[in-house]
Structure 1
């Protein structure tokens, strides 16, 4: 059996700890920036639910990230390395983002509906433009 070098002995005897929770402020700011971009620019999500103005997207992104962080932090334990907590944080962000765009789309649909609109969720202007012309 070979003898270990003093460096190897030192490295083996030290326990190395790695934790991904809590995320740094820089990481949280990057999440917020990405949320703003996702909510305010054309994307797969915006094709279905529409986009938010940059101001509304900024406010929504900060609220989403803060709520997701609070939810994840409340379930954090000192015994793990944060992998499960980061997964919860990510899932909460996704859920809250989807809830936000759905709520915004529902408000927009309610605001554009008129009594003569025959199709639910379609504004009268859209409805008229989709009807066949004679």
Structure 2
């Protein structure tokens, strides 16, 4: 089966696609997610291994993928130290893009001009 050039994604308020939209440069899909490192085994200290990431996918006006930015906001252990603080891990993640906190760590920036990575909204 051939990979489609464009994959339509519907906006669903209050669900996983509630963070898609348009900006002056085109379209975007943003999300906040947690992940454990490869080879992780659940046990003591898991809170230090559970990492919160902010993901921003950018598309041109026609829906062709332009780039994806992934920012590590912190760990679950950091979040639990001050869960309701204005500078907690979740608050930093929810604050928007790009990361502005000195505690933030840029994880990767991937750029792809491939039509197989396309998605209009």
Under a length normalisation based on structure 2, what TM-score does the superposition of the two structures give? 0.29
Q: Which has the higher contact order (CA 8 A, sep 6+)?
A: 2
Higher helix share goes to which structure?
1
- Bigger fraction of residues in strand: 2
Larger Rg: 1
